[in-house]
Chain A
């Protein structure tokens, strides 16, 4: 590995971490699309800032663009408050308009601005190592590393300082106001940090991919855990992994680095989406199938318990009255038999002693609205699950 290669990976990793942290809170607060809006609408801010500073890496430019981001949020909320359009329409109206202004400003000043449309969408990570920070003639490393590094340090510092407040205001707005944590300050604080991060990362990965870096790691982590700390750690891990793996994939294919990073994020998400142990698609489908059978089983047992008359308990009655398709009723009866819940005599089904106990207990939980207790009860009674 050459030194620029290492530096690119380092920058990519730092950007990924800096994006992943605010991303977690955006996903949890159901504001993921705000990051999309910000990342688009800061473009005119960046261009304007560039006219003034003539330096894409100037802190002033970052500040100006970040202010544009916060203004976007305020604008969206103002339009929502007029009630003229629905909430999501407000987002959908504001950011394309601002982004268009940015694109047109770039196009009209193509000779002066060192940005082109590709850079807007993709960033220029490959060139990042060549723009170096010189202090008194000393080479201190790539500028963007310093910028993203500073943003990351600030983000982490704020996270550690306000972890408790962020957590409370994210999960329980009512409680947080009661504790004296202003939801408004937390909201705009998070919006400001997100804006700054997006602006800093914009240069490296471009407008749309920064959205991926914010949302995808957090969403992936959310499929694996609901614990905030674990979620933060996991998103950072996913972000860094995709950044570095993405770099090598781009190297291999000779294609865009940020495009590859996003693709890696996509692959990681797809894997977790399919295979996550409890919330993945396969696990969910398996569990839904199991629960459908088990709910049917309990319904069946309750029915037997409710009706003493023979006609209602005849094996053929299942299809007729309970209205199950043949396959399911067979599965249910078999499951009940395997678990010694029922016995069949002359095609008439009755509850066994164990079945009766189970049903009575289930009934009690159902009537007292303690449905959640049925799940552990199943563990006690079932030899075989559905």
Chain B
């Protein structure tokens, strides 16, 4: 069996907010086709890592490559689901409109979305079970529904790599299951999915790859091999025991 391709390669990445480093010298290689969780305590720099990979934050050192090339050149291979709380949901727009925004990157400057983009957006909405709500104003959606709309917006980007910042934050159980099923489908289709995740209990059930992060990278690899009390303790500081059904 040949070595899988490296989808995301992070080298010596150091990121600072106001010159206070929040990520130190991170090296991270994510193989293609995994469903990976990034776990770590609050303030460990999980979101920061994603944002630095996506070029939202400027690192003070280090480099990021998507399939061997800088992010700017591979933008169209990448989709992003930001934290739900990062936007104003009272914004005057509909669910369908938000999903259509996922097509803007492919369209580039000035060109407007047409019927092709609309069709793709409707399909994405259907995939997340939100087609009935396409004309709903986004503030009238529940937290879980809003998260599904965000997911649909990323799906419509039709990318190879998906980054998601806490997609299970504040969503109902049904939505959580729906989302994880879609993520597993994406993996089956050979996509790479990176998820900032909080709930350690569900890591073995949902993911096949995991990165422990606490300012420095603690460990990264297959869940089966490295998701253990030793790494959890190293990451969370205290003597961490998690009820993992092995």
A/B: CB atoms within 8 Å of each other: yes
Q: What residue of chain B has the Cβ atom nearest to residue A329's Cβ? A: B61
Interface flag for A282 (CB, 8 Å): no
A296 and B19 alpha carbons, distance in the complex (Å): 10
A368 and B238 alpha carbons, distance in the complex (Å): 11
Q: What residue of chain B has the Cβ atom nearest to residue A300's Cβ? A: B61
A366 and B16 alpha carbons, distance in the complex (Å): 13
Interface flag for A130 (CB, 8 Å): no
Q: Tell me the smallest distance from the CB of A10 to a CB of chain B, in Å.
A: 45
A296 and B60 alpha carbons, distance in the complex (Å): 7
CB <8 Å contact, B20 and A323:
no
Among B21, B60, B61, B237, chain A packs the most CB atoms within 10 A around the CB of B61
Among B11, B24, B27, contact of A299 (Cβ-Cβ < 8 Å): B24
Contact with B along A335-363 (1 / 0, CB 8 A): 00000000000000000000000000000
Interface flag for A104 (CB, 8 Å): no
Q: What residue of chain B has the Cβ atom nearest to residue A306's Cβ? A: B25
CB <8 Å contact, A295 and B60:
yes
Q: What residue of chain A has the Cβ atom nearest to residue B43's Cβ? A: A369
Interface flag for B231 (CB, 8 Å): no
Chain A residue numbers with a CB within 8 Å of B24 are 299, 302, 366
Interface flag for B214 (CB, 8 Å): yes
Chain A residue numbers with a CB within 8 Å of B90 are 83
CB <8 Å contact, A296 and B61:
yes
Q: What residue of chain B has the Cβ atom nearest to residue A287's Cβ? A: B19
CB <8 Å contact, B14 and A299:
yes
Contact with B along A128-145 (1 / 0, CB 8 A): 000000000000000000
Q: What residue of chain B has the Cβ atom nearest to residue A375's Cβ? A: B20
Among B21, B27, B215, chain A packs the most CB atoms within 10 A around the CB of B21
- In this complex, how many residues of chain B approach chain A with their Cβ under 8 Å: the count is 21
Q: Given contacts A295-B14, A295-B16, A302-B24, is CB(A367)–CB(B214) below 8 Å?
A: yes
A295 and B18 alpha carbons, distance in the complex (Å): 11
Q: Tell me the smallest distance from the CB of A197 to a CB of chain B, in Å.
A: 36
- In this complex, how many residues of chain A approach chain B with their Cβ under 8 Å: the count is 21
Chain A residue numbers with a CB within 8 Å of B11 are 321
Interface flag for A279 (CB, 8 Å): no
Q: Given contacts A288-B19, A295-B16, A306-B25, is CB(A367)–CB(B61) below 8 Å?
A: no
A299 and B25 alpha carbons, distance in the complex (Å): 6
A295 and B14 alpha carbons, distance in the complex (Å): 9
Q: What residue of chain A has the Cβ atom nearest to residue B237's Cβ? A: A368
CB <8 Å contact, B216 and A366:
yes
Q: Given contacts A367-B216, A371-B20, is CB(A324)–CB(B61) below 8 Å?
A: yes
Q: Tell me the smallest distance from the CB of B236 to a CB of chain A, in Å.
A: 11
A299 and B62 alpha carbons, distance in the complex (Å): 10
Interface flag for A303 (CB, 8 Å): yes
Interface flag for A177 (CB, 8 Å): no
A298 and B21 alpha carbons, distance in the complex (Å): 10
Interface flag for B12 (CB, 8 Å): yes
Q: Tell me the smallest distance from the CB of A257 to a CB of chain B, in Å.
A: 41
Chain B residue numbers with a CB within 8 Å of A157 are none
CB <8 Å contact, B25 and A302:
yes
Contact with B along A298-341 (1 / 0, CB 8 A): 11101100100000000000000111100000000000000000
Chain B residue numbers with a CB within 8 Å of A324 are 61
Interface flag for A58 (CB, 8 Å): no
CB <8 Å contact, B19 and A291:
yes
Among A291, A306, A321, A369, contact of B63 (Cβ-Cβ < 8 Å): A321
A371 and B24 alpha carbons, distance in the complex (Å): 11
CB <8 Å contact, B19 and A303:
no
Q: What residue of chain B has the Cβ atom nearest to residue A332's Cβ? A: B61
Q: Given contacts A303-B12, A321-B11, A322-B12, is CB(A292)–CB(B60) below 8 Å?
A: yes
Q: Given contacts A295-B14, A322-B12, A366-B215, is CB(A371)–CB(B61) below 8 Å?
A: no
A295 and B237 alpha carbons, distance in the complex (Å): 24
Chain A residue numbers with a CB within 8 Å of B216 are 366-367
A323 and B16 alpha carbons, distance in the complex (Å): 15
A359 and B159 alpha carbons, distance in the complex (Å): 40
A298 and B27 alpha carbons, distance in the complex (Å): 16
Q: Given contacts A306-B25, A321-B11, A366-B24, is CB(A299)–CB(B61) below 8 Å?
A: yes
CB <8 Å contact, A322 and B62:
yes
Q: Given contacts A366-B216, A367-B214, A368-B237, is CB(A323)–CB(B61) below 8 Å?
A: yes
Among A291, A298, A322, A369, contact of B215 (Cβ-Cβ < 8 Å): A369
Within 8 A of A (CB), among B1-47: 11-12, 14, 16, 19-21, 24-25, 27, 43
A367 and B61 alpha carbons, distance in the complex (Å): 19
Chain B residue numbers with a CB within 8 Å of A300 are 61
Chain B residue numbers with a CB within 8 Å of A306 are 25, 27
Chain A residue numbers with a CB within 8 Å of B20 are 371
Contact with A along B207-246 (1 / 0, CB 8 A): 0000000111000000000000000000001000000000
- A sample of 8 cross-chain residue pairs with beta-carbon separation below 8 angstroms, ordered by A number, consists of A83-B90, A288-B19, A295-B19, A296-B61, A299-B60, A322-B62, A323-B63, A367-B214
Q: A296-B60, A369-B214 are in contact. List 10 more A-B contacts (CB 8 A).
A: A288-B19, A292-B19, A299-B25, A302-B24, A322-B12, A323-B59, A323-B61, A323-B63, A366-B216, A367-B215
Q: Lowest 10 A-B CB distances belong to which pairs?
A: A291-B19, A323-B63, A299-B14, A322-B61, A302-B25, A299-B61, A322-B12, A366-B24, A303-B25, A366-B215
